[in-house]
Structure formats: C-alpha cells, structure tokens
Structure 1
Amino acid sequence: MSKDNFVLSTGYLKKVVPLLMKYQVSATPTNYALWYTYVADADTDLSKEINESIQATGTLSEVQCDQLYQSHFADKKVKEADDFQQSLQALALEMGNTMQDTLKDTDTFQSTLDKTFSQLARVGEETLSMDETIAVVRSAVKGSNQIRQSTSFFKNQLADAQKEIERLKETLAQANEEALNDALTGLFNRRAFDAELDALASKPPPKGFSLLICDLDHFKSFNDTYGHLMGDQVLKLTAKRLSDYCREGIQAFRYGGEEFAILVPNRQLNGACRVAETIRASIDRLVIKDKKTGKKLDNISMSIGVAQFEKGEKIKSLIGRADALLYEAKSLGRNRVMPIA
C-alpha cells in the first residue's frame, strides 16, 4: 500500500467509527465494510440509500445495515447458496448412479436365479450328474455373493447420504434462521421486525414512530374455500401493495400467517392512521381472480390497529395496544382502521 493510500484509508477510518457510534451500529466487519464504502463514496447507489434512510428516520438500524450489506456485498452469500445447491445435486447424482448399479446387479442376479432354478427343476425330470449339480449351486452362490456385496455397498452409501442430508438440513435451517426476509412474500420477517422495533424504541426518530398491526379479514375461510395455493397468492398480492407504501422510512413486515406489521417513523397517531386508511382502501380494491377459470373470487379486506410509541414505553406494551385496537376493528365489523382518525 502506498503512503497516499494509507493516509486516505486512515482518513476513512476516522470517519467510520464516529458514524457507527452516532447511529448506534455494531462495529461488526460487515457494518464496517458498509460504512467504509459509504464514507469513501465508492458506491453511489449505496450512499443514496443510506442518505435517504438517515433523512427519513434519523438513523440506520441494524436490520437496514444487514439488508444493505446483502444487496451490495452479497457475493459470499450467493456462493454459499451455490455451494449448497451443488452439494444437493452431487448427492442426488451419486445416489442415482449407485441405485442404478444396484438395480443392474439385482437384474443380473435375478437372471442367474431363474436359470439356476430352471436347471435344478431338471433334477426331478432327468438325471443330473454330481458335477453338473455342483456347478449349478456354485453359480447361484457366486451370484448371491455379488448381489450381497452390491446391496451392502448401497446400504453404506445410504448411510453416508443420510449424514450428508442431516448436515445440509442444519445448514439450511441456520440460513433460514439468519435470514431477514419472509420466503413467501419477500417482506421482512418477524425476526427483522423484532430487531427493527427494538432499535426504534431504543432511539426513536425525532418525531417518534407508530406501529400498525394489520390482519386480513376472514382469511381462514378464504383458504378453506379456494385452497392454500390461492391463499398464498393473496398473501403475495397483499405484500406487494404494502411494499408500495414503503417510502419515507416506512417498513412492512410479515408478522405471522395473514398478519402484517408496519413501522411508520416520524408520524404522530393521526398521520399514521391516515397511512393505515390508505393501505386499507388499497387492499379493499384488490381484485382476486382464479387464473384457470378467470372467475372473480371473494373480495379481500384488512383490519388495522394503530398505536403511537410513547417515550419510555415497553415494546410489549406498544404491540399490545396495537393488537387491542386491531381486535376492536374486527369486533366492529372488520375492514376498518382503529382508532378512527
């Protein structure tokens, strides 16, 4: 490294550490790489996204840092995914080849047995010499040994494959646990919601924030009537509508099942209720059709409870208040926002 580059990188270091402290971001290698790139202005798109988040919420949370890192520095994760897929393909190919070999040996042994029994059947019909009888038995024994070795090898292969499958399952489970996105809808998942809500509560934006708990009405009945595949399509469409309103720091999460959570920074209760009403009306206008028949299905609606974070409040209390308002909306006939702005 040249002296000029050393001086330059040292200057970036002096800028990165204060930013991590200012926004209360953990000094992990991934976060350091993210903010180093930011202060170096080495990625225009990354800098723009960070600036927009800071402008909207006054900070950049751990969840957002992780999301930005994955989108801008994801080579390692992509490689891990490719390695995982290649391991599965190699395992399937190896097991397939071994099975084909074993089946081939089994066919050969079956042919040997058929021939042997045919020859032995002659004992009752005609006289076989002792040498001929011994030769027939030896042939059967030889075939038996071959198939025993083949099946034994296949059994060992199955045992090894089972171990490899268990390892891959653990790898996949860990990847799913570490992921921040819901696989079906593409929204942030519950793990990301918990982390983001904790970050907002510990350092609220200048004008505070509000929580929206949203639940699709009569969704179980819809699933029972039209099937879970159609239900999944509804969840995806709903998530797409929610994503359309994720601007100015607003973030949407799949909270669980047909329930969603939305964090609205820098909005007082009335403003958050207006956001909720806009979302409710948008979901109410969704047209659900069966792609096979073209038939229009029952309308989907959403009930929403809105609660504004109170300084010093416990997260459990905030969620409880939003949940209570959601159930009040349900009890009043659904397809509405509570409290009424």
Structure 2
Amino acid sequence: MKYQDTLQQAQDKAVQVKAFLRQHLLAAHPTNYTVGYEYISGKNIGLCQAIEDKLAANTLLDDFIMAELYSRFLLQEQQRQEQLLQDVSSMVSRLSGYTDLAAESTSDFLQQLEHSLFQLTQPSAEPALVVTHLQQHTLYYQQQQQQLHMQLEAANQHSHQLRHELEQLKLQQLQDPLTGLYNRQAMQNQVELWLSEQPERRIAAIAVDLDHFRHFNQQYGQTIGDVILSKVARKIRSYVQESGMPVRAGGEEFLLLLPDVDLRTATEIAEQVRRGVEKLRFISSRDKKTLPKVTISLGVSLYQAAETWQQFLARTSDIMKLAKQRGRNQVASELMLTPN
C-alpha cells in the first residue's frame, strides 16, 4: 500500500481525497485522484506547496491545473527513475561490447603472432619482412588497446555516477521523503537482520505521537504542519545513536528502535525526547507569529521473542495511548506497568 499506510490510514485518506475533489468540483479520474492522494498524504513537499499557493491565491483548481501538477511533481520523478534504469542498461551493454572488442582484438593479435613465428621457421622466410609486418600489427594492437582503455576510463567514471544515483534511489525507497527518517520497509529489513543475527536480541521501542496535531493542521495548514513534522523528526532523531533506528510509522507517528537497550534506559531516553520536543519553538514564516507549543506522547516497551513483530508494535502503540489518556505530553512505559 502506498507509503506503507495501514488499511485504516488508506481508507481515511481515500475519504479525505474524495472530499477534496468534491470541494473543488474535480472529477475522480486517476490523475486528479493521484494528485489529491499525494496532497492529503503530505509527502511531496513541492506539490503540497504549489497547491497551498494556488488556494491562497483563490485559484480555481481544474483538470488542466491538476494535470500540470501531476506532470511537474509526479511524472518527472517516475521518468527520472526510468531514465536511470535505461542508463544502467546502456552502460552494461557498452561494457559488454568493449569486452567483446578486447577479446576479438587480442585473439587477432595472437593469431598474427603465431603466424609470424611460423613464417620465421620456414626456409624461404625473410626475417626482416616478417618482423616489419609483426611490428605493424603490434602497433595497431597497441592503438586499439589505448582506445579501449580510454573508453573504459570514461565508462568507469559514468558507472561511478550511476552507482551513486542508484544508491540515492535505493536510499529514497527506504526513507520518508518529508522527514528523512526511515520508513516501514526499512524498519522491517533492519529488524529481520537484527533477529537473524540474534533471535533473542533485546530491542526496545519508543512509540511517539504528536499531540493534537490534526487540529494544528486544520488551523495552520498542511504546509506549516509539514515543517513542524520535519523539525520534530529532526529533534527526535538527534536522541538516537547510530545503532538505533528512527522511523516514521505514519502521519504524525514515529517509532524509535533501540537494539541492546534495556527498558529503564529506553524510558529515560523517551523522557529526554519528550523534554527536547517540548522546548522547541516555532514561528510562522508568513506573519512571524509564534505558533503554539508542540508536545508529544510516548510509549516504551521491550520486544518479547514469543510475540510477532506486529504484536509488539501494537502493544507499544497501546502503551503510548495510555500516555494520551493520562493527559498527553508524557511517557508511559512497561516499566511503570510491571508489578514490583
């Protein structure tokens, strides 16, 4: 499912997309729906900003504008990926061709060398003439090899560039584009690696959810909401060491995975995260007014080998919801729920 949304999240977004299209009298055909889904999801910052600017200018959204937005912000990325794959395929074909040429050139030269050596053994041989011919073929072979070397050097430089672009593309597929945190697919890959290395490995999880964020979005708009999410994510990530993994689990939900960390330490880290986010201050770039303070609720738990990973995430989320029920802007932990 797109963006690794849960079924409920996808259904909620579908309802919002339909409402968005009805509000602007847009037909629910694939282009309009796709642009609407991207806008509601808030992942594509450029597209969201473009729509916000048009709405602020009271521009009427129509099929033409939606098609233009699709072309600018969605189609171009797809085309870039396709072009990258074509470049890689072309590079592989060229390298294969260079290899064939090198093999053919070497084979011809060896045949000529063998023929020249054979001629030198004949009674009627003219050594000077044979050597002259061999020198000519050697020079031609050297020129071919030099040209091939230059082609391979150019191909090598291009391959480094393509490798970098492929790594960036791979990274993008494992990252949330708005916050730069890992996505659910990256989380699943890492967890499988951790548990394959050590099935009984201790993994602590901190579920994080912004308090009253939907109301904040409704009041200040999607664009400002995205900026807030991005800055909060950056603050949260700063508390995770290199061995840990910060994940954007959903809209305003984050997850910190901490391998080889006990419950007490994870609870202390969660409290540090809570205080760090609480100290953040935000000012609107439009009117320079101070925005309301943003707080988070957190839930902390420790993975049990007897449960599935999905059960563990659900349990961690339930603990986080306890923090919300108790008044928000606080940490709830298994440590507090465990009898002494």
TM-score normalized with structure 1 length: 0.47
TM-score normalized with structure 2 length: 0.47
Greater Rg by CA: 1
